Structure 1
Amino acid sequence: MIREAERTDKDQIYELYKMLVPNSKKMNVQEEQIDKLRMDPYNFLLVFEEEGEILGTLTLNICLQALHGTRPYGAIENVIVHEKHRNKKIGQKLLHYVEEYCKSINCHRIMLLSNSKRQSAHQFFAREGYDRSVSKGFKKYL
């Protein structure tokens, strides 16, 4: 089942994030932040849960813009499926859920960022229709 994360999911989300960025010294998953995301109509922390266990997660941000009239766009980050549950279509289900939601609110496009070293993730995203040749992503950490 795909649903919005709840504060009680904090520890399981943290464990997934450790698989995404194992050497991060700045990771800090907070219940209050999960609550803020739940209350914000433009930001979503989604989880894939099965039998009480969170097996995957992603963050979706709906971004307003002026370029395409009233049509927003979606930005996806922090996509991770538990390493013991990969190749079970969990990531695909999460992405399809987001795509259907974005279509329902008339988004212009969906953008996705992925760490440049995660080659198997890039192959997965390409199979799901995300074109890596359209744009080049840049980040500046503050």
Structure 2
Amino acid sequence: MYELLVPHNPRIRVLLERLERLRGAADDFCFVDERDGQVVGTVLLHLCPDVMFEDRPYALLENLVVDPGARGRGSGRALLGQAERVCREHGCTKVVLLSGVHRTAAHTFFERLGYSGSVSRAFKKYLLR
């Protein structure tokens, strides 16, 4: 599924042991939407410590991907809804969602769900080559 986000990237390697570690982590989550026995969507959620607002974390969403054949059927909405429920349970102050600049259809979807692309600007520096 991650190849849908970054096609033809030879560095993509999903490790089962990494997924198992996420399962037991208190502040990291990998949500999966499964339909008819097939994974059709996934998102990573990380709760990040913050020093500005008492002991309340903020959340970072990464690698939201929905299979093209399943888009428009509620998978993305369900995944983000689950992530937001966990964020509220943990008292998060905000949710930061990163998305590739070229994914304009996804940006429209995010905005419909209340995310704003004009509040902040994200910068990335890749360290893995």
Which position in structure 1 is the counterpart of 2:54?
69
Deviations 1:54-105 (A, max 9, x none): 1100000000111100110110010010111100111011111111111111
Percent same amino acid among aligned pairs?
38
Distance in structure 1 (CA, Å) of the matches to 2:26 and 2:85: 16
* CA distance in 1: counterparts of 2:82 and 2:16, whole angstroms: 24
More deviation, 72-81/17-26: 17-26
CA distance in 2, matches of 1:120, 1:29: 26
Q: Choose from 25, 31, 34 the match for 1:40.
A: 25
Given the alignment, which residue of 23, 29, 44 partners 1:59?
A: 44
Name the aligned partner's letter for residue 105 of structure 1: H
Q: Name 2:95's counterpart in structure 1.
A: 110
Question: Which stretch of structure 1 is more off in the superposition, 18-27 or 118-127?
Answer: 18-27
Secondary structure of residue in 2 paired with 1:106: coil
Aligned to 1:23: 8
In 1, Cα distance between equivalents of 2:8 and 2:116? 28
Q: After TM superposition, give the deviation of residue 112 of structure 1 in Å.
A: 0.3
The CA deviation string for residues 1-35 of structure 1, in whole angstroms up to 9 with x for no partner, is xxxxxxxxxxxxxxx11112112121011111111
Cα distance between partner residues in 2 of 1:29 and 1:51: 22
Q: 2:78 — aligned with what?
A: 93
Matched, 1:135 2:120: yes
Q: For structure 2, which runs of at least 5 residues remain unmatched after alignment?
A: none
Higher helix proportion (structure 1 or 2): 1
C-alpha RMSD of the superposition: 0.8
**Pair 1:125-2:110 in alignment:** yes
The normalised TM-score by structure 2 is: 0.95
SS in 2 for 1:65: coil
